[in-house]
């Protein structure tokens, strides 16, 4: 009886639901989850993708021991940590400051916001290329402008081991500060005006208003921005690859660039799969814990 009714109205909602969702899930399973499982399987072998005739042996956890015991890899982790710490801190501080200023709603506000946002929409690889030109020690505009204010003489942002890690921090900050700015701005605009009015009545100082009203309201938004930027910068590859290629030496070689070298230049497929799994577990673990903490703060 029920079947008849449904039939007269076409497929049942449940059937349509599955019909609509299935293609997406299947595609994600095939191109994202299957490769990941495949990588996990390969991570226990000594497989080389460029030596197809070689017998693949199971080596157990050897790849994992090797990676975690290798000092060079910890160096890359440290480089990535430096990059993440400074880019995230700068982007949060500058982004929040810009948002506070933009929130004063002066004329031309919208236009300026859209203009400021431009860098983050650009292709990171191409951004890396043209910053390479700006940083050029002989003809670069960056070099010129810095020397205009204080004459350092010729200095090589990308060629010096001490400067190069900062060169990539500057470009990433230039590119992504608008991201935190936009999110903070949304946070600021969500604060109801009466809170400040009440505070004014209670004679709270501007500073107190900022600490007790503004900051707590923006905090969830800041944490969200931090999460997105954290994940993205942990995966960072394109911009830095084109800007420094990891150099000088390997002073700016982030983990994902190092992984690319192991996987696509040395073709140590088994070994690099283990490397990939370690990176994936790290980001997934951190991400999950972070989201839990973030939700707790939001609920408070």
Touching other proteins, residues 14-53 (CB under 8 A): 14, 16-21, 23-25, 27-28, 31-36, 38-39, 42, 49
Count of residues that bind other proteins according to CB under 8 A: 97
From 127, 95, 102, select the one nearest 228 (Cα to Cα).
95
Site string for other proteins, 171-210 (x = CB under 8 A): ---x----x--xx-xx--x---x--xx--x----------
Residue 45, SS3 per DSSP: strand
- Interface residue with other proteins among 78, 115, 208, 295 (CB under 8 A) is 115
- Interface residue with other proteins among 5, 69, 108, 203 (CB under 8 A) is 108
Q: Taking contact as CB under 8 A, which single stretch among the options 59-67, 73-81, 140-148, 161-169 is the one that binds other proteins?
A: 140-148
Q: Taking contact as CB under 8 A, which single stretch among the options 59-67, 72-80, 161-169, 279-287 is the one that binds other proteins?
A: 279-287
- Interface residue with other proteins among 2, 9, 203, 296 (CB under 8 A) is 9
Q: Compute the distance between CA of residue 15 and CA of residue 9 in angstroms, rounded to an integer.
A: 12
- Interface residue with other proteins among 55, 69, 71, 105 (CB under 8 A) is 105
Q: Compute the distance between CA of residue 39 and CA of residue 260 in angstroms, rounded to an integer.
A: 14
Q: Compute the distance between CA of residue 271 and CA of residue 283 in angstroms, rounded to an integer.
A: 19
- Interface residue with other proteins among 144, 161, 210, 295 (CB under 8 A) is 144
Shortest spacing between CB 109 and other proteins, in angstroms: 8
Site for other proteins in 42-101 (CB under 8 A): 42, 49, 98, 101
CB atoms within 10 A of CB 34: 11
- 163 versus 213: smaller Cβ distance to other proteins: 213
For 287, residues 6+ apart whose C-beta sits below 8 A from its C-beta are 227, 231
Q: Quick check: 270 and 48 in contact, CB under 8 A?
A: yes
Q: Quick check: 250 and 268 in contact, CB under 8 A?
A: no
Site for other proteins in 208-237 (CB under 8 A): 221, 224, 228, 231, 234-235, 237
Shortest spacing between CB 60 and other proteins, in angstroms: 19
- Interface residue with other proteins among 45, 131, 168, 226 (CB under 8 A) is 131
Q: Does 13 bind other proteins (CB under 8 A)?
A: yes
Q: Taking contact as CB under 8 A, which single stretch among the options 58-66, 74-82, 159-167, 275-283 is the one that binds other proteins?
A: 275-283
Q: Compute the distance between CA of residue 267 and CA of residue 244 in angstroms, rounded to an integer.
A: 22
Could you tell me what percentage of the chain is helix, strand and coil, using 3-state DSSP and rounding each to the nearest 5? Answer: 75, 0, 25
Shortest spacing between CB 300 and other proteins, in angstroms: 18
Q: Compute the distance between CA of residue 45 and CA of residue 19 in angstroms, rounded to an integer.
A: 38
Q: Quick check: 190 and 217 in contact, CB under 8 A?
A: yes
The DSSP 8-state label assigned to residue 55 in this structure reads P
- 46 versus 273: smaller Cβ distance to other proteins: 273
- 137 versus 165: smaller Cβ distance to other proteins: 137
Q: Does 114 bind other proteins (CB under 8 A)?
A: yes
Place of tokens 């500073």: 207
From 218, 118, 133, select the one nearest 176 (Cα to Cα).
118
Distance of alpha carbon 166 from the chain centroid: 17
Q: Does 125 bind other proteins (CB under 8 A)?
A: yes
């Amino acid at each position: 009886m029920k079947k008849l009714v449904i039939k007269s109205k076409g497929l049942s909602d449940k059937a349509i639901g599955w019909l609509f969702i299935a293609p997406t899930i299947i595609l994600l399973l095939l191109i994202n989850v299957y490769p990941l499982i495949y990588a996990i399987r390969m991570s226990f072998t000594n497989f080389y993708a460029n030596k197809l005739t070689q017998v693949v042996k199971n080596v157990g956890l050897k790849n994992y021991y090797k990676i975690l015991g290798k000092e060079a890899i910890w160096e890359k982790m440290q480089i990535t940590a430096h990059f993440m710490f400074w880019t995230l801190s700068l982007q949060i501080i500058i982004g929040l400051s810009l948002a506070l200023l933009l929130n004063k709603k002066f004329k031309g506000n919208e236009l300026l916001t859209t203009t400021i946002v431009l860098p983050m929409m650009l292709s990171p690889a191409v951004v890396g290329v043209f910053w390479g030109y700006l940083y050029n020690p002989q003809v670069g505009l960056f070099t010129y402008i810095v020397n205009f204010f204080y004459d350092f003489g010729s200095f090589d942002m990308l060629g010096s081991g001490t400067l190069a890690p900062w060169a990539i921090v500057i470009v990433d900050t230039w590119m992504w500060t608008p991201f935190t700015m936009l999110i903070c701005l949304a946070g600021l605009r969500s604060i109801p005006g009466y809170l400040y009015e009440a505070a004014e009545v209670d004679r709270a100082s501007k500073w107190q208003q900022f600490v007790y009203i503004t900051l707590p309201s923006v905090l969830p938004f800041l944490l969200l921005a931090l999460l997105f930027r954290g994940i993205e910068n942990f995966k960072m590859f394109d911009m830095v690859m084109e800007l420094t290629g990891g150099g000088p030496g390997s002073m700016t070689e982030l983990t994902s660039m190092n992984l690319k070298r192991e996987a696509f230049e040395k073709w140590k497929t088994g070994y690099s799969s283990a490397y990939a799994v370690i990176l994936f577990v790290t980001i997934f673990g951190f991400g999950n814990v972070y989201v839990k903490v973030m939700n707790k703060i939001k609920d408070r």
